[in-house]
Amino acid sequence: MNFISTKMPDRGIQDMASYIVKLLKTDKKVLWLVCGGSNIPYSVKAMGIIRSEVVAESQLANLTISLTDERFGPVGFKNSNWQQLIEAGFDFKGLNVMPVLIGKSLEETTRIFGENMRTAIQNADSIVAQFGIGADGHIAGILPDSLAAGSKETAYGYKTPQFERITLTFMTLKKIDAAFAFVFGESKRESIRKLKGEALPLNEEPCQILKQLEEANIYSDCG
């Protein structure tokens, strides 16, 4: 786990984009898992960098975009992470896209997302994930002491106090080759302190999963 102290996300955005560019330019198939919230502008900017450096359409076609987690609801509803990516200007042209919401029930949507994710992982040469970390230490849609934290499935759908969520599970996140986490703001300071200095159970602080990944880079102003 690499911790990079920085006041701004720009270095991390460039590092993540460069990592993906290098893979695409060697004709690798890349699965890029993005997230929502404050990370959305970072994803848009990183995609702009990728397009500026990878001009071959055949290489861009090797990039598959999906989500680490999604807020459940109708396709295109305002709280959807995917819809917010679209509205923020993420350029999906020429890429393989794998949105989560398909207009079915929470259970069916979760099942199909899990199936699609297993196929995408099998077909990818490299899996890159972008994360935020919550003030409570949650990562993707895995909340502390939640049913998602104990799931052995590929993806898990469940009700939370704020949203119904569909998230990749720890079992799936462990397959990631390189993670880039962006964690800024005073409210995140305690979760970062615990991540750096304590070995906590995953159900207590889900972001501790970053320690189990092959490569994890955390960009933060939290000390």
What tens digit of pLDDT does each residue of 110-157 get?
999 999 999 999 999 999 999 999 999 999 999 999 999 999 999 999
For residue 42, the tally of other CB atoms under 10 A from its CB is 22
Contact criterion met (CB below 8 Å) for 184 and 177: no
Element spanning 84, H or E: helix 81-87
Q: pLDDT digit string (tens) for 152-199?
A: 999 999 999 889 999 999 999 999 999 999 999 999 999 999 999 999
Task: At 86, give phi and psi (nearest 5°).
Answer: -60, -50
What is the per-residue pLDDT for 135? 95
With CA atoms as reference, report the closest residue to 141 among 107, 120, 168: 168
- Indicate yes or no: pTM above 0.85: yes
Length of the chain, please?
223
Instruction: Give the pLDDT score at 162.
Output: 87
pLDDT at 43 over 80: yes
By CB atoms closer than 10 A (0-12, 13-18, 19+), residue 72 is: buried
| pLDDT tens digit sequence for 79-103 | 999 999 999 999 999 999 999 999 9
Residue 212 has pLDDT above 90, yes or no: yes
Provide the pLDDT for residue 138.
97
State mean pLDDT over 13-23. Answer: 98
pLDDT at 161: 87
- Buried residues in 185-208 as b, exposed as e (16+ CB within 10 A): eeebeebbebbeeeebebbebbbb
Pairwise CA distance, residues 120 & 105, whole Å: 22
Q: Which of 106, 26, 35 is nearest to 69 (CA)?
A: 35
Do 72 and 157 meet the contact criterion of CB atoms below 8 Å apart?
yes
Q: Which domains does the chain have, with CATH numbers?
A: 2-220 (3.40.50.1360)
